[in-house]
Amino acid sequence: MAQHILIVDDEESIVTLLKYNIEQAGFTTEVAYTGKEALEKANEQTFDLIVLDVMLPEMDGMEVCKQMRQKQVQTPILMLTAKDDEFDKVLGLELGADDYLTKPFSPREVVARIKAILRRVTYHSNSTEEERECFKIADLMVYPEQYEATVKGEGLILTPKEFELLLYLTRNKGRVLSRDQLLSAVWNYDFVGDTRIVDVHISHLREKIEPDTKKPVYIKTIRGLGYKMEDPSKDA
């Protein structure tokens, strides 16, 4: 069954362009022209990914993204913005978007980003409990096949990008990883040195896994170098 994409934009020409190219790539699409309509459709249907414009009538894309994440809708979101401003990009990511593109953009790049995001969030739901690969660090458990993670047995609500970052850090426990390394490994393409994106996602992860975000015991900042995942149980 083809994967289902929700396109949210109030410009008819852009919707037509996106719809044609996304469907040509083998996806099915649904369209919303306002933020309110996007929320309603996201609540009524299941989508594999949402292409969400920032500048929308009734409710902007930032607020749509925020409300979806507050309602635990974890569908991957690719944000489109006409504002080539770092603040807007970072804010979108802080609110839970998985990726962003600045207008004007190439339809081919939109499709490429969609495919990259969906590849990262694809998991094998048929694997049995015995088959589940698991990484354990103290009270943190990460299950790559299920895109699941727990702390002290409680499930974590993570966006796909947050999970990918957590998994990469976990798999490389004890290694110092630079922001550029994390950008390359997790985002899979060049963000032209926009390493603030990494910092934003590290901050989100700490809020969800650390007992005290001011004194992190899992994800340590290595000043001037990057980040390192450590096992706090070894220091106990």
Check: pTM over 0.85? Answer yes or no.
Answer: no
Q: What domains are there in the chain, each with its CATH number?
A: 4-123 (3.40.50.2300), 135-229 (1.10.10.10)
Task: Supply the pLDDT for residue 136.
Answer: 92
Low-confidence ranges of the chain (pLDDT < 50): 123-131
Residue-wise pLDDT tens digits, 95-144 = 788 888 888 888 889 999 899 888 876 644 444 444 457 899 999 999 88
SS3 per-residue string spanning the chain? CCCEEEEECCCHHHHHHHHHHHHHCCCEEEEECCHHHHHHHHHHCCCCEEEEECCCCCCCHHHHHHHHHHCCCCCCEEEEECCCCHHHHHHHHHCCCCEEEECCCCHHHHHHHHHHHHHHHCCCCCCCCCCCCCEEECCEEEECCCCEEEECCEECCCCHHHHHHHHHHHHCCCCCECHHHHHHHHHCCCCCCCCHHHHHHHHHHHHHHCCCCCCCCCEEEECCCEEEECCHHHCC
For residues 211 and 198, give the distance between their C-alpha atoms in angstroms, rounded to a whole number. 21
Task: Supply the pLDDT for residue 217.
Answer: 95
| Amino acid code (one letter) for 86 | E
Contact between 66 and 96 under an 8 Å Cβ cutoff? The reply is yes
| Amino acid code (one letter) for 164 | E
Alpha-carbon distance values, 66 to 28, 39, 91 (Å): 25, 11, 10
Q: In this structure, what token pair is assigned to residue 236?
A: 């106990």
